[in-house]
Amino acid sequence: MKVLGIMGSPRIGGNSDILLDQALAGARDAGAEVEKIILCQQKISGCLNCEKCNETGICALKDGMPEIHEKILEADAVIHSVPVYFWAMTAQMKAYLDRWCVFFDAEWKWHKHYWPKMKGKKIGLITVCGDPNVHTADPIVHSFKTTVDFTRLSWLGAVMASAGAKGEISKNEAAKREAYELGKKGATP
């Protein structure tokens, strides 16, 4: 099993990063090979809606995303971790998620050569917000859950936590345990 972690926070070592590391530790302890991609360390442009990928399944933009697409295709599970920025996901995560359009044709059906690699893939999410009400992150959960439902992938679930100061989540044993279990679930066939 391969579990890919996608870190959508520009704050390396922050709360989203800490929880993603917990999830990847859970996956590793369950026997999976793990890898983490930190989106702010990649060059990822926003989708231009040029529609070239509708025909070819290959993005016309020459940046870091095609390599990430390959890693997504190779993984059995992808766990995303992102904080709430102005009541939505970060710009880095939004650019990444928009670029998933490469997997689809003009009718929003899977390109036939991608579906065998995507079928059954597990998708999980970790969100962290500064608001004590973790449901401030509901729009992010909705984006990912709707993507999973639309694409007929397998939803692992969402870990939703609250923390403000960098590293504060380290004190939240329940959130760390929940993230760890999400990773274990992602590594289970």
What the block records as the tokens of 130 is 């500064």
Write the pLDDT tens digit of every residue in 96-129.
999 999 999 999 999 999 999 999 999 999 999 9
What the block records as the tokens of 11 is 């704050």
Span 59-66, mean pLDDT? 95
Number of domains in the chain: 1
How many whole angstroms separate alpha carbon 157 and alpha carbon 188? 14
Order of strands across the sheet that contains 33-38 = 33-38, 2-7, 77-83, 122-129, 154-162
Can you give the CATH number for the domain in which 11 is found? 3.40.50.360
How many whole angstroms separate alpha carbon 81 and alpha carbon 11? 12
The answer to whether the CB of 160 falls within 8 A of the CB of 116 is: no
User: In terms of pLDDT, which residue wins out, 55 or 25?
Assistant: 25
β-sheet bridge partners, residue 130: none
pLDDT at 55 over 90: no
Structural domain boundaries enclosing 23: 2-186
How many whole angstroms separate alpha carbon 147 and alpha carbon 96? 13
What the block records as the tokens of 65 is 């995303």
| Confidence class for position 5, pLDDT limits 50, 70, 90 | very high
- C-alpha to C-alpha distances, 118 to 110, 112, 188, nearest whole angstrom: 9, 10, 16
Q: State the pTM of this model.
A: 0.96
Written as one letter, the residue type at 175 is A
Write the pLDDT tens digit of every residue in 135-189.
999 999 999 999 999 999 999 999 999 998 999 999 999 999 999 999 999 999 8
The answer to whether the CB of 37 falls within 8 A of the CB of 7 is: yes
How many whole angstroms separate alpha carbon 185 and alpha carbon 23? 9
Rounded to an integer, what is the distance from CA 106 to the centroid of its chain? 24
How many whole angstroms separate alpha carbon 102 and alpha carbon 105? 8
Backbone φ and ψ for 85, nearest 5 degrees, come out as -120, 115
